[in-house]
């Protein structure tokens, strides 16, 4: 079993005792024992909670794979960190630099688009150009 499928491993990585889990998930100790032993599977929501408690964001989808959240910051797969006060400061920074946030977001999104998506968009633009923009 991978750690994501293994309740006991996720519980331990999150630093939660069996008693902590009974309180967090509002189940009895016997239920947690069965989950821990692998006799029964907890609801998927329990796995999601444990992933969050571990700081893992992979379950949010491909774009968040490898990102981690800690009590101090968000860490990218490349090892970059951003702290809560930096996130709060972004609005002010954009205002002071007279940067249009929507333009920055659009540019960054275009840079990180999947190649297939870009190819589809280029094909659509090419079709529109050939048909005089009436595609």
What predicted TM-score, i.e. pTM, was given to this entire model? 0.56
Residues 76-121: tens digit of each pLDDT: 999 999 998 898 888 888 888 787 877 878 888 888 765 555 555 5
Q: What does the alpha-carbon distance between residue 67 and residue 103 come to, in Å, rounded to a whole number?
A: 24
| Phi/psi-derived region of residue 70, left when phi > 0, alpha when psi is between -120 and 50, beta in every other case | beta
Tokens read off for 5: 């499928």
Residue range 14-24, pLDDT digits in tens = 889 999 999 99
């Amino acid at each position: 079993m991978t750690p994501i499928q293994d309740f006991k491993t996720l519980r331990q990585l999150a630093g939660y005792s069996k008693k902590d889990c009974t309180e967090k998930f509002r189940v009895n100790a016997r239920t947690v024992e069965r989950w821990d032993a692998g006799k029964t599977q907890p609801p998927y929501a329990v796995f999601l909670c444990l992933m969050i408690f571990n700081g893992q964001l992979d379950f949010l989808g491909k774009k968040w794979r490898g990102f981690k959240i800690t009590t101090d910051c968000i860490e990218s797969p490349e090892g970059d960190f951003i702290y809560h006060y930096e996130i709060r400061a972004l609005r002010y920074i954009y205002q002071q630099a007279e940067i249009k946030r929507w333009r920055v977001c659009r540019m960054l999104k275009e840079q990180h688009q999947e190649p297939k998506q870009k190819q589809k968009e280029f094909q659509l633009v090419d079709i529109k150009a050939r048909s005089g923009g009436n595609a």
